[in-house]
Amino acid sequence: MKITEFSPQEFEKLESAWKTLEKGLEMTCFQTFDWYKIINRHFMAEKKKAPFRSGTYVLLTDDNDAPLMIAPIQIVKKGFYFKGIGMMKGFYFIGRQGFSDYLNFIYDDFKDEYLREILKFVSKKYGMTYCRFENVSEKTSSYKSLNNNYGADRIDSLCMTLDLLDSFDDYKKKWSKNMRGGMNQAKNRAVKDGLSFDYIILDKIDKAMAQKLERIRQQRLVKKQAEVNNSLSFQAKIYSKCREMLVNTTSVPINVMEEIKNCWCLISKCGDEIAAFFYCVYKPENKTIYFLLAGVDLKYERYKPGLTQLVHFFETEIGNGKPQVEFFDLTRGNERYKYDLKADEHITSQFVFYM
């Protein structure tokens, strides 16, 4: 086996090897070359936006130069860490504290020896042993390796996924009483108020549409943040503000809707107005749609336009025999609507260990 390093400025040289490995069934949309092209530019290559970061892409190949694994490694040579804030000196995934709901090494066929070789290489070269790898899905082979072989401390969080059944009637039978009542209530409200909703699906959006959807999303975020702040003590508010400022120095917000060339965007409409949306990315190799962002115009919130139109899409897709989509990955978080949709919980973990 051979190891080659590439700096963030050399990222494009990895395209061929990366696109070979990203087709692996354990790779999500967050492990594709096109996704990391965005992450690399914002988090690594443009140093004025990332003054405290350095990074390397470690490519492991066999003796015939066939790619085996790529490790997108963020290197922190001078750490700062106090009461859960900051980053210790060591190794992290490139893409942390961003929109990457799942982080991982890039591979098709995982082998423990590949990971050991890469970790041994970076530890020896950079003289550090601390590793903190986040958002690793329990569904992956890398998760099992990190969990079993390195004596790592593990911190778990929830993601949720939905597997479409072969029958829409069978899917509806899984609904809770609360879901049935909520759907009927939303429908009756719309009828009473003389409103009707339908949906369109876009595979590309322009900058103007991206900004329009972001404004809708921000409505809910502002409302939620105000509710949280109102519940905090004065000291907690100061701590929260300081934490936010520190996080902002080590992470760069990205409007991914302006960045992604090809998307899967379900837009719920009331006449000519956008009532709600789900902004997603589709990965054909595993017939999965990954949810990135969602939003609802607050004036239409009581009609549940996003939820009702998404269910209509499920019904259409199942009726067509699920030709393109079998799985909806609702990604991080356990919001109520995900349980209403009868999604299943699964774990993603942060692994902390010394080599």
pLDDT of residue 257: 87
Pairing of the two strands 80-82 and 85-87? antiparallel
pLDDT (0 to 100) of residue 335: 86
Burial of 199 (0-12, 13-18, 19+ CB in 10 A): buried
**Architecture of the domain delimited by 2-157:** 3-Layer(aba) Sandwich (3.40)
Residue whose C-alpha is closest to residue 159's, from 290, 275, 354, 279: 290
Asked if residue 353 lies in contact with residue 154, where contact means CB atoms within 8 angstroms, the answer is no
Are 2-157 and 165-325 equal in CATH topology?
Answer: yes
* Phi, then psi, of 60 in degrees rounded to 5: -105, 125
CATH of domain 165-325: 3.40.630
Task: For the chain, give every domain's residue range.
Answer: 2-157, 165-325
Q: What DSSP element (H or E) covers 118?
A: helix 112-126
Strand 90-93 versus strand 130-137 pairing type: parallel
Identify the residue whose tokens are 């139109």: 309
User: Distance between CA 84 and CA 92 in Å, rounded?
Assistant: 15
Rounded CA separation 350/153 (Å): 8
* Token pair recorded at residue 169: 């009637």
Which residues does the chain have with pLDDT short of 50? 48-49
pTM of the model: 0.86
CA dist 310 and 295 (Å) reads: 13
Q: What is the CB neighbour count within 10 angstroms for residue 348?
A: 22
d(CA 71, CA 266): 33
Where does 234-304 have alpha helices with state H? Answer: 234-249, 256-259
**DSSP H or E segment with residue 214:** helix 207-230
Rounded Cα distance, 205 and 242, in Å: 36
pLDDT tens digits, one per residue of 15-66: 999 999 999 999 999 999 999 999 998 877 665 445 556 899 999 999 999 9
H or E element, residue 319 = helix 305-319
Instruction: Please classify residue 337 by burial: count the beta carbons closer than 10 Å to its beta carbon, then call 0-12 exposed, 13-18 middle and 19+ buried.
Output: middle
Structure tokens at 342: 């009868």
pLDDT tens sequence across 195-213: 999 999 999 999 999 999 9
